[in-house]
Structure 1
Amino acid sequence: MACRIDIEWAHAVARSELQHALPRRWSHSQGVARAAGALAGIVGDDAELLWAAAVLHDVGYSPDLALTGFHPLDGARFLRDQHGADEQLTRLVANHSCALLEAEERGLRRELEAEFPPHDNDLLIDALIYADMTTTPAGNPTTPSARIAEIIGRYGPDTLVGRFIQRAEPEIMAAATRIEQAKTNQPRYG
């Protein structure tokens, strides 16, 4: 069943938390939302939910919200606790782009899973991974391979984020392949 989301609210929340404090992160979030919007035909009735999750996925980086230092968890808690956001939305934000693997690296996997179980819609999960991993930090289109390489280059291969993204690479690439297939009317969902 599709989830109705107020996309103007989602945009306003993301903008207020990121635009001034983290303008590059805001540019990235807007680019991810554009990429998600381009997938509306694939996700159908869940297009608004996907778009809202895309624009809000990095809200937990806001300095005012970064309580654990793990942005998916911090962002989802903020959306749930301060805004009473829909559970489907908070679960997507909390678990975006293979976040469980990073949570494991940080010793937060049980906490993340207990509060925000992974979303059960594989198509939405893949679409959000795809939108995030095909958008540069500046908000421009890229490929998943180039995005992964950029993340490793920025953080370093032996850092927590570098280890996480290398572990996540097979799933990121598989999600990208499934979305590309869906875009060419060869979906593997259902």
Structure 2
Amino acid sequence: MARSELELPLPRRWAHSQGVGRAAIAAAAGLDCNSELLVAAAILHDVGYAPRLVVTGFHPLDGARFLRDEHQADQRVTRLVANHTFALLEADERGLQAQLAAEFPILDDQVLVDALTYCDMTTTPDGGPTTAADRIHEILTRYGRDTTVGRFMQRAATNILEAVFRTEEAMAAHPR
């Protein structure tokens, strides 16, 4: 599904999604979580960027609605996609926080929520590994500090780094 929506119109976004999926497979091996759910959400997390799916212009919401409405996807997947990487903070910047929270409440599984953030924020736009700090810097450089995404990233940076740290700690406690 993600491939059919992203591969041709947005090959770099598709490469990122594949990298996030690979990171999820690796992370799930060291976490006590639903690995199938994590991997599915990881591969699908950016599907809302697909040009034909853009409605609000906010990819977590557009992607989650697509998954729910066109594919009747598992509501846990749609909630993870909708709320990936502290999306509620960006939704606030866009005036969409109430809509996002009402339609897709954050999943009550901190390990999965953190793990998806970890996978997204330790994967480059081209699908390679990186550090969360470098990824935050890359996003701020690409979008600019004074843009909606830049303001969100500055607000979310500490939360992102904490989620990545919690995930790394959990993986270290359960070595493969």
Same fold (TM over 0.5): yes
> Which residue does 1:48 correspond to in 2?
36
Contact 1:43 1:124 in 2 (8 A): no
Residue pairs, 1:59-78, within 5 angstroms: 59-78=47-66
SS of the equivalent of 1:90 reads: helix
- Which ranges in structure 2 are unaligned for 5 or more consecutive residues? none
> Which residue does 2:169 correspond to in 1?
181
Distance 2:99 2:172 in 1: 38
SS of the equivalent of 1:64 reads: helix
Q: In the alignment, does 2:13 pair up with 1:25?
A: yes
Q: In the alignment, does 2:148 pair up with 1:172?
A: no
> Which residue does 2:77 correspond to in 1?
89
How far residue 41 of structure 1 moved from its aligned partner, in angstroms, is: 2.4
> Which residue does 2:124 correspond to in 1?
136
2:151 pairs with one of 143, 151, 163 = 163
SS of the equivalent of 1:165 reads: helix
Distance 2:100 2:137 in 1: 26
Residue pairs, 1:143-162, within 5 angstroms: 143-162=131-150
Distance 1:52 1:86 in 2: 10
Amino acid at match of 2:49: Y
> Which residue does 1:118 correspond to in 2?
106
Amino acid at match of 1:99: A
TM-score w.r.t. the length of structure 2 is: 0.97
Q: State the 4+ residue runs in structure 1 displaced beyond 6 angstroms.
A: none
Contact 2:143 2:150 in 1 (8 A): yes
Contact 1:105 1:160 in 2 (8 A): yes
Contact 2:64 2:79 in 1 (8 A): yes
Amino acid at match of 1:130: Y
How far residue 169 of structure 1 moved from its aligned partner, in angstroms, is: 0.4
How far residue 95 of structure 1 moved from its aligned partner, in angstroms, is: 0.1
- Which ranges in structure 1 are unaligned for 5 or more consecutive residues? 1-12
> Which residue does 1:107 correspond to in 2?
95
Distance 1:150 1:45 in 2: 29
How far residue 45 of structure 1 moved from its aligned partner, in angstroms, is: 5.1
How far residue 44 of structure 1 moved from its aligned partner, in angstroms, is: 3.9
Contact 2:30 2:172 in 1 (8 A): no
How far residue 39 of structure 1 moved from its aligned partner, in angstroms, is: 1.2
